[in-house]
Amino acid sequence: MSVEPVARPTPPEIEGYLYKMKRKSGINLTGSWNKRWFYVDTKRREFGYSQSNTQTTMKNSIFLDDITAVVSFDDYCFQVESKTRKFFLKGESKAGAAVWVKTLETYRAQLVAHEKYLASTPLHMKEAKKEDNNTDNNQSVVAAPSKGSKTIYRSEDKAGEPKGKEAKTVSSTPVQAWSLSDEMDDDDD
């Protein structure tokens, strides 16, 4: 039985202003938002922000491949989560927020399909795929099994975490999401 190849997804090209909840402003949802320029750095595969669209470096970011969930709370508010941080965001319009959510969710779904393909493919077949071995910094390069050894399937990343697992489902309110946010967010302004 042949496994149909699933290519690694191309990072989406998206940018625009979103409002980011300030971490140190308490749970007051009014007046606790900062307008920030969010974008995807396609070369570094990062989703993050700078204070304006004229700045060239991201202040804080999440690697696209580390996004574990994109959770919508209403027509305007959503949260982008990874294991290390969370961005609680609000779009300037319903349509704007929907585009961000759909774009990031689509990328995440394509990535999960690609990771499932990698997990189901023997390593010696993967080595022929130079694109994956040369561009994916989160995967180790392992030699093909020698004669007499069993075929090993790569199903973990370098940290020993399972690859290709589904994005988690989160059911919480915006206030709960804010209180669950990471402590590393240093955006005080």
**Of residues 153 and 48, which shows the higher confidence score?**
48
Q: Look up the pTM and report it.
A: 0.64
Q: Which of 103, 105, 92 is nearest to 19 (CA)?
A: 92
How far is Cα of residue 60 from the mean position of the Cα atoms in its chain?
13
pLDDT confidence bin for 56, thresholds 50/70/90: confident
pLDDT confidence bin for 22, thresholds 50/70/90: confident
Interval 105-162: pLDDT, tens? 999 999 999 999 998 887 755 554 555 545 544 433 333 333 433 333 334 444 544 4
Put the strands of the sheet holding 67-72 in their side by side order: 60-63, 46-50, 33-41, 15-21, 86-90, 77-82, 67-72
pLDDT confidence bin for 36, thresholds 50/70/90: very high
Percent residues over pLDDT 70 in the chain? 58
**Of residues 104 and 144, which shows the higher confidence score?**
104
Q: Which residues contact 43 (CB under 8 A, 6 or more apart)?
A: none
| Ordered domains of the chain (ranges, CATH) | 15-120+168-180 (2.30.29.30)
- CB of 121 within 8 A of CB of 128? no
- CB of 3 within 8 A of CB of 125? no
Percent residues over pLDDT 90 in the chain? 44
| DSSP character at residue 10 | P
Interval 169-187: pLDDT, tens? 344 444 444 434 444 445 5
Interval 82-101: pLDDT, tens? 999 999 999 999 999 999 99
Cα radius of gyration rounded to whole Å, the chain: 19
C-alpha span between 168 and 156 (Å, rounded)? 17
pLDDT for residue 163 is more than 70: no
For the ranges 4-8, 21-25, 56-60, the lowest mean pLDDT is seen at: 21-25
- In the block, which residue shows the tokens 């999440």? 62
Residue 172, strand partner residues: none
